[in-house]
């Protein structure tokens, strides 16, 4: 069975639409490009990680590595997750946990992420 997922770099904000983007450097050149993103709840969503190969002068979105990000606060959980489904699960568990929020400091976000990895028997936030 195959799945089709549409990722967008456009998200709704109070003033209208905004595009998520990033700037990467490859050698002496830099490129600004849209970030493929799936909103989960409000400003929180998931996206594949970006991989830059300097030797090949290439940039690729890795569909085997996902991040959870709050676009309004420009913060991400310090996890590299091995599937979109796992990243969505983490985003929902984080939102449901009354002991943590996106306003928590970096140490607390890191501790929450480490505890999630430990609870789920995973390495680097991926499936075991």
Total of domains in the chain: 1
Residue 27 placed within a domain: yes
Type and span of the H or E element at 95: helix 84-96
* Confidence at residue 67, expressed as pLDDT on a 0 to 100 scale: 96
pLDDT confidence of residue 16? 76
Tens of pLDDT, residues 42-92: 889 999 999 999 888 899 999 999 999 998 898 999 999 999 999 999 999
pLDDT at residue 128 in the model: 38
Mean pLDDT of 106-121: 95
113 lies in some domain: yes
> Is residue 1 in some structural domain?
no
Look at residue 112 and tell me if it is in a domain.
yes
In a domain, 114, yes or no: yes
pLDDT per residue as tens digits for the range 5-36: 888 887 777 777 778 888 999 888 899 999 99
Has residue 57 been placed in a domain?
yes
Structural domain boundaries enclosing 50: 10-119
d(Cα 98, Cα 96) in Å, to the nearest integer? 6
């Amino acid at each position: 069975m195959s799945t089709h997922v549409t990722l967008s770099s456009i998200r709704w904000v109070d003033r209208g639409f905004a595009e998520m983007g990033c700037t990467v450097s490859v050698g002496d050149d830099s490129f600004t490009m849209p970030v493929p993103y799936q909103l989960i709840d409000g400003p929180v969503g998931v996206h594949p990680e970006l991989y830059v190969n300097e030797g090949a002068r290439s940039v690729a979105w890795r569909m085997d590595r996902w991040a959870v990000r709050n676009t309004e606060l420009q913060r991400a959980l310090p996890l590299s997750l091995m599937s979109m489904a796992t990243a969505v699960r983490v985003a929902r568990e984080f939102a449901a946990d009354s002991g943590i929020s996106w306003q928590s400091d970096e140490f607390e976000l890191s501790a929450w992420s480490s505890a999630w990895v430990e609870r789920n028997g995973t390495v680097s936030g991926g499936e075991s």
